[in-house]
Every structure is written in C-alpha cells, then in structure tokens.
A and B are shown apart, each in its own frame.
Chain A
Amino acid sequence: GAVVSQHPSWVICKSGTSVKIECRSLDFQATTMFWYRQFPKQSLMLMATSNEGSKATYEQGVEKDKFLINHASLTLSTLTVTSAHPEDSSFYICSALIGTGDQPQHFGDGTRLSIL
C-alpha cells in the first residue's frame, strides 16, 4: 500500500534552532502533501497544503515565514520550523494524496518536536 515516511521521528533542540522535517512518499507520486500539527489529546490542525513546484497554501493563522514548506518533487516535501521556540513544541504530521477525487490521505508517523 501507499507508504509515507516522515523523518526524524523525534527531535529535541535548543530555542532559536531551525529544524527541518522531511516527508517522503516511498512507493507513489503524491499530487498533494499536507502538514498538520497536533497538540496532546487534541485533533489534527491543518497547517498548509503543498503541491510540487508551487508555493504552499497556508491556513489562516499559520505564519509562513515561521513554517517554511518546500515541495521540490512529487515524492518529497519538507517543513522547516525556523528559529524554533518552546511554544513550537508539538507533534507534526504530514500526509500525501494520490490523484484527486474521493481518495484517502496517507499519513507519515509524525515528528515529535521538543524545543528547550
């Protein structure tokens, strides 16, 4: 089945550091990739929608300069949290979509980001 690999799975770093998270579709080409943020015991909140070769579309309230998204190929999207601070600590999850229409999204295993 469609596999999405997300790396790293866990990262701890100091405040002010920039952190890059990769999301790869391993056995398919993704028309669209999505980035979500999830706080403990809460639901997923969509941060941005990413299409290969074009600028990401950010949801209202998400700082595009803070959360840089690059979608360089049909199998790779990256999220960079720039100058991370403790309030950016969260669980970040990516997903990928094959084609259009009534299709499920395929999710990575998430990245737990802890900023000290």
Chain B
Amino acid sequence: SQQGEEDPQALSIQEGENATMNCSYKTSINNLQWYRQNSGRGLVHLILIRSNEREKHSGRLRVTLDTSKKSSSLMITASRAADTASYFCATEEGGKLIFGQGTELSVKP
C-alpha cells in the first residue's frame, strides 16, 4: 500500500526559483526519508528526518516534518537544471520503506 501521498505530481520552474514538494502519510512513523531519482536510474538518498525532528537542512535542501499533521515538505532553494528529477518521500514501516507517488520536477534553464 502507498503510505505517502505527494503533491504536486509535477512541478515546472525556472532555474533560480525555489521548489517545494509536499508529502502526507497515514500512520505513525519512526522517520521519513526523501529520495531523488533521475530518469531511468536508481534512487539517491537525500535526507532522513526522525519523528522527533521538525526541520533539517542539507546544502540547498530543507526538509520539514509536522507529525501532528502527518506531513513533510522538501524545499530546494535556488534550483538548477541539474535538479530535474523525480522526488519521492518514504516512510519506514516495520523495517520496510513505503514510497509516495513522487513529484516530477522540471527546472528550465
């Protein structure tokens, strides 16, 4: 079953703009993870945020977690054409990752 629901499904922005993707989930979590997937490739781990954390940064990435609303957001600041990819949130359930539907981000130069 799909735990995470993401929106938007697709996002198109200009280089230099910020991109924000949202993820909602249904059950209690230990952590929530964000991954990136370039077309036809495997997934690359971006950030893991634990249930007792509210915000986390990594370079141009900022992730927030609101456990009361069961939601998370991933923001990419000052986007680049190379950020074009699909982004997935995933929650851990019984040692397994349950992925959201993903957001397809297109950054135009």
Q: What is the interface of chain A, defined by CB distance below 8 A to chain B?
A: 4, 6, 32, 34, 41-44, 46, 49, 91, 93, 95, 100, 102-110, 112
Contact = CB atoms under 8 A, between A and B. Distances in A.
A109 B30 CA distance: 27
Interface string B4-37: 0000000000000000000000000011010100
B42 A109 contact: yes
B97 A105 contact: yes
Contacts of B31: 102
Interface size class of B (residues with CB under 8 A): 20 to 34
Interface string B37-59: 00011111100101000000000
B6 to A, nearest CB: 9
Given A44-B88, A104-B33, A110 B99 contact: no
Contacts of A110: 40-42
Identify which of B48, B98, B99 gathers the most chain A CB atoms within 10 Å of its CB. B99
A42 B101 contact: yes
A109 B99 contact: no
Nearest to A93: B42
Nearest to B50: A102
Contacts of B96: 34, 46, 49
Contacts of A43: 2, 88, 99-102
Contact of B97 (A41, A46, A91, A100): A46
